[in-house]
Structure 1
Amino acid sequence: MWAQGDYAALAREVIPELGASLVEACDLRPGQRVLDVAAGTGNAAIPAALTGADVVASDLTPELLKAGQAVAAQRGAHLNWEVADAEAMPFKDAEFDVVMSCVGVMFAPNHQAAADELVRVTRSGGTIALLNWTPEGFIGQMFATMKPYAPPPPPGAQPPPRWGDPDHVKALFGDRVEDFTATHRTVRIDRFKTPEEFRDYFKAFYGPTIAVYRNIADAPERVAELDEALAALARSHLGEEGMDWEYLLVTARKI
């Protein structure tokens, strides 16, 4: 799914500041071992590497990592790129000082398995930091809008925006972390001038939206319904200065 469209362009053109916001929350220092889980094209991993940290960017989709390598080269960032499943990572226990994810690990189907891996690879006293879309925010509402038109999820899969619920994330980590903080923030999106421009951009660039439209491609009336539903959603959020998309920033320390 994530190899469809052009997520590298979306990360660069629509949400470039999110990765830097997550890195700032991590308070990275040169030489720290950092893992970016479900890193995509390196929206957080690249700015992390530019701090002087020793960074590994991991993702299940090789196409995204390849695109990220090109971006890193342009920005002069040096880091390692590894194909890895967030639910079963090939890294040692307690290998990293900081483990982070920017709207990435939230898309792993089994939330508990992914959370267990985040904790496992973090050293005692190390930081776990996550930036995830909230259920009630714009992207969470977009996924709810697309859900009736989407293919059935894998057995046991949980909705990605639940990672934007502080209580859900805290329950996933349980008593294995301390100093748990969760802050709701928004990012201003001024890339789209009309609701239809937003919809058509996501239809062309965003893997999850592309997958939903492919699922209903043989039903023109349903395509038209979803077209209008996504435009209506954007219309309800779009003002003269753009849209505000809510996310949850979580930081915690492994015990």
Structure 2
Amino acid sequence: MNYLLKTSSARKDITSRSGGSTRYNIGQEGIAASSVHLPTLPEQQKIAAFLTAVDGRQAGLRRQVAALERYKRGVMQGVCGEGADGRWVKVKVSEVYSFFSTNSLSWAQLNYDSGKYRNIHYGDIHTQFSQYLDVRHASVPYINMDVTMKDAAYKHPVQAGDILLADASEDVNDIGKATEVVDAGNIPLYAGLHTIHARPKQGTIAPEFGTLLFQSPTFRRQVYTAIHEG
């Protein structure tokens, strides 16, 4: 019955019988009067067994993903935080990263059709990009042709290995969210509105390790402190 009541036809019938304004509700009579398509009993048993097995598989996968996430957090805590062994040195981010100016182009100055240059908007860091960004396989907007590009924000195009952080968000937990560029593509790419553009100094950060540092609990705690003290 649980599966039957979740079918689109049953849900549509139930919804049509529900009432309310900002919150919908339905009574016993509405449920009882709704109709469902009922297969034979043997078919019901086969369908229920199959879907129950699928649900079990999904639950198992979710547990595996959760376990991997916990393991990942533990590893990051160990290798990027207090658990690091004595051979590791504590440094300021400015000792291993150089920072470059970024532009302040709005969405109105960008497009997804064509252009000579591409631009990273902080909104995409929040909604589209993962911890690693391969521009060849991502939807990155172009800068409109009528935009003047003469100030310091355009002196240092983004390149592989660079870190882009979002310096603003409606959710405090997303401030400082970072993505590492693993491939910047073949069109000049720039860091845009509400982004921080960091580049590892030569010989200090291994490829694809930088983004892990910026996700580490140690760094995140300092971001939270800086936000609340700012």
TM-score bin (small chain): under 0.3
- TM-score normalised over the length of structure 1: 0.21
TM-score (norm 2): 0.23
Higher normalized strand content (fraction of residues): 1
